[in-house]
Amino acid sequence: MKALVYQGAGEKAWQEVPNPQIQQATDVIVKIETTTICGTDLHILKGDVPAVTPGRILGHEGVGVITEVGDAVTTLKVGDRVIISCVSSCGKCSYCKQGLFSHCLADEGASGIGWVFGHLIDGTQAEYVRVPFAENSVQLLPEGVKNELGVLISDILPTGHEIGVVLGAVKPGDVVAVVGTGPVGLAAIATANLYGPSRVIAIDLDANRIEKAKELGATDGVLSSDPDWKEQVLALTDGLGVDVSIEAVGIPTTWDMVLDIVRPGGHVANAGVHGTSVDFPIQDKWIENLTITTGLVNTNTAPMLTRLLAQGKLNIAGFISHRFKLDEIEEAYDVFSRAAETKALKVILEA
């Protein structure tokens, strides 16, 4: 088969590799019909994720058809069309029993790490993929749901929902601010509205991204390049700050921003992936009764999001900016890596 293979920092290739085989009785093999590219894949290509070694097939999102099942698999069959979760979980260890699937203790790549695709085992940017713990790591794609929408359930939608909205404890009437309207931030915006906030404020340097955020559910937009951006945000509250402040970029500047606009008693939900340390001015903030959360997606809300998607209650078609054939994946990476220029959000790859 063909797959996109990591060759070391800055290098990748679409090349022939052996087809995956069933290794454990709980595995299935899935023929990939649709996949996509994540910002994490770009971090890997930069060499930022040293656990990813040359020869690894990239990708952790996908929709496809099961072509083979292990002997212990009883609830899935050949021919089922499934959404592959970015997090694989045994369902039996102590963390899985708590719903912390991202920290599954089963030794599939490394104990305590649920994100294995394209990281510790071969991933989904390929014609076929082996899925471990399949009965806990895929879900059936509902009839009538397009593959390109189903693949958004693999990672991006549950990430914004769980790490931004659920951990941020968004509730009816809240004023929510999302700093950074890339795919994660937009996912938080799209799912925040499930909880009835009074306002959802999109904050970004890019005016085009703010307009996209409004299409996906933001009530207001603020350009962070404006000198008075903070005053604009506070003017949309009662002057005290937002109830929930979601960081969706992963740099010190945006971390400082979410702290600047949250009110006493509010929630700061960090959804960005940080590559360097940030400051927390505890000498000032200790008195503010803040709740600060971090996390890696567990995808335990993915079934709920899938049901809403099937009922047409999630407005997410606007996430898709570009479409390519799977064998055009290197061109797709180029477009995705130049998102500021190309306006790329989610780039869909179809077999």
Mean pLDDT calculated for residue range 23-39: 97
Q: Is 90 exceeded by the pLDDT of residue 108?
A: no
Fold held by 160-293: Rossmann fold (3.40.50)
User: Is residue 110 very low, low, confident or very high in pLDDT (cuts 50, 70, 90)?
Assistant: confident
Give span(s): CATH 3.40.50.720, the chain.
160-293
- C-alpha 9 chain-centroid distance: 22
Q: For residue 172, give the nearest of 222, 267, 269, 243 by alpha carbon.
A: 243
**How far apart are alpha carbons 155 and 38 in whole angstroms?**
9
Instruction: Quote the crossing angle between the two packed helices 207-215 and 183-192, to the nearest 10°.
Output: 30
Q: For residue 191, give the nearest of 158, 146, 168, 233 by alpha carbon.
A: 158
- What pTM was computed for the model? 0.95
User: Is residue 111 very low, low, confident or very high in pLDDT (cuts 50, 70, 90)?
Assistant: confident
Q: Which of the following CATH numbers is that of domain 2-155+298-350: 3.90.550.10, 3.90.180.10, 3.40.50.300, 3.30.420.10?
A: 3.90.180.10
Look up residue 272 and give its two tokens.
Answer: 């960005």
Mean pLDDT calculated for residue range 28-34: 98
Q: For residue 164, give the nearest of 345, 295, 5 by alpha carbon.
A: 295
Residue 252: per-residue pLDDT: 96
Give span(s): CATH 3.90.180.10, the chain.
2-155+298-350
What share of the chain in percent tops pLDDT 70? 100
Q: Is 90 exceeded by the pLDDT of residue 107?
A: no
Per residue in 119-176, pLDDT tens? 999 999 999 999 999 999 999 999 999 999 999 999 999 999 999 999 999 999 999 9
Q: Is 80 exceeded by the pLDDT of residue 109?
A: no
**How far apart are alpha carbons 155 and 313 in whole angstroms?**
18
What integer best gives the mean pLDDT of the chain? 96
- What's the start-to-end Cα distance of the chain, in Å? 12
Look up residue 288 and give its two tokens.
Answer: 């503010």
Measured between alpha carbons, how far is residue 52 from residues 59, 102, 118, 312 in Å? 11, 17, 8, 37
Residue 48: per-residue pLDDT: 86
Residue/partner pairs of 333-338 with CB below 8 Å, 24 or more apart: 333/12, 333/37, 333/41, 333/45, 336/37, 336/42, 337/42
Look up residue 6 and give its two tokens.
Answer: 């990591």
Residue with tokens 């070391």: 8
Tell how strand 28-36 and strand 346-350 pair up.
Answer: antiparallel
Is the CB of residue 64 less than 8 Å from the CB of residue 82? yes
Per residue in 209-267, pLDDT tens? 999 999 999 999 999 999 999 999 999 999 999 999 999 999 999 999 999 999 999 99
Per residue in 78-99, pLDDT tens? 999 999 999 999 999 999 999 9
Per residue in 304-345, pLDDT tens? 999 999 999 998 999 999 999 999 999 999 999 999 899 999
